[in-house]
Amino acid sequence: MKSKVLVPKKRLGQNFLISPYYARRIASAVESSDDSKVIEIGPGKGALSIFLKERFPRFHMIEMDNDIIPSLKEKIGDGKWTLHVSDVLEFDFRALGSPLHIVGNLPYNIAALIIKKTLLHSPKVGSVTYMVQREVAERIVAAPHTKQNGFLTIFCQFFGSPKILFNIPLGAFVPKPKVESSVFQMNIDDQIEDRLRRKDWESFFAFVSNGFSMRRKMLAKSLSLKTGIDKQAIADNLIQAGFNKKIRAEDLNVHEWLRLYLQLGAMLK
């Protein structure tokens, strides 16, 4: 019987990795120990999965495209792996226990949502190794005082110190994407909740988002317009916290954002 031809679905952001060289490099980069679980998001045709299976025979996969599952299972073959047929944005990672090491070629259109969902499961997550659009990876690892430094930068760096491992050319995919991809990795800081209680995470990220909402303006003005706090009061607190009152959102690193949030804490409630 002739195998069904699998056409990548644009609505799912499918660009299948077809390069064994890069697939093996990604699988080799995943950090894990014997007592942890490895989860692949969006295995697609299994190019990466077969190399993950070599290192982690009991690994898990999350795939929502029913049409691709028969081909995926055929590619991987028999074993102790587990396939979860689910939308990753609705998947309950708590069911897998911890620590978790998550890897995947993320669809460009929902990459940021997947990153946020999985990192918010920290510190149960031990590490993430994700392939994303190169521009997104560069934003995630960005330094202060750069245009790339934004909300996603601060969000990700709150959980650890991301690093770009390598870039992947267009020809490594079918269909070829219009932009290059990069693989970044981050080991999650298991002391996150010592710096900020989990119940305050949502408030902190909203604070950062407000700060970046009008990034061309000075931070004191942006925060004042978004929070309703008097601009001069914010400026005074910036000075008390050791900042120049004329700083902009992109000038701060994650530690400075956290320090400023704690400084303004009483005013934000």
pLDDT, tens digit only, all 269 positions of the chain: 344 555 544 444 457 888 999 999 999 999 887 667 999 999 988 999 999 999 999 999 999 999 889 999 999 999 999 999 999 999 999 889 888 999 999 988 899 999 999 999 988 999 999 999 999 999 999 999 999 999 999 999 999 999 999 999 999 888 788 889 999 999 999 899 999 999 999 999 999 999 999 888 899 999 888 888 888 888 888 888 888 888 999 999 999 999 999 888 767 66
pLDDT confidence of residue 12: 46
pLDDT confidence of residue 40: 97
Cα–Cα distance for residue pair 28/66, rounded to 1 Å: 28
Give 191-198 contacts, CB < 8 A, sequence gap 24+: 191/123, 192/122, 192/123, 192/158, 192/159, 193/123, 195/258, 196/258
pLDDT confidence of residue 268: 66
Structure tokens at 47: 């190019």
Parts of the chain belonging to CATH 3.40.50.150? 10-192
Give 246-249 contacts, CB < 8 A, sequence gap 24+: 246/218, 247/218, 247/219, 248/215, 248/216, 248/217, 248/218, 248/219, 249/149, 249/150, 249/208, 249/211, 249/212, 249/215, 249/219, 249/222
227 three-state secondary structure: helix
Identify the helix (H) or strand (E) that includes residue 187: strand 181-187
Decide the pairing of beta strands 163-168 and 82-85. Answer: unpaired
Cα–Cα distance for residue pair 66/71, rounded to 1 Å: 10
In single-letter form, the type of residue at position 77 comes to: G
Instruction: State the pTM of this model.
Output: 0.91
pLDDT confidence of residue 228: 85
Structure tokens at 255: 């530690």
Q: 134 with 180: CB under 8 angstroms?
A: yes
Cα–Cα distance for residue pair 111/5, rounded to 1 Å: 26
Parts of the chain belonging to CATH 1.10.8.100? 196-268
pLDDT confidence of residue 241: 81
> 218 vs 84, 244, 251, 256, CA distance in Å?
46, 10, 10, 16
Which CATH code is given to the segment(s) 196-268?
Answer: 1.10.8.100
Q: State the CATH class of domain 10-192.
A: alpha beta
Cα–Cα distance for residue pair 223/235, rounded to 1 Å: 10
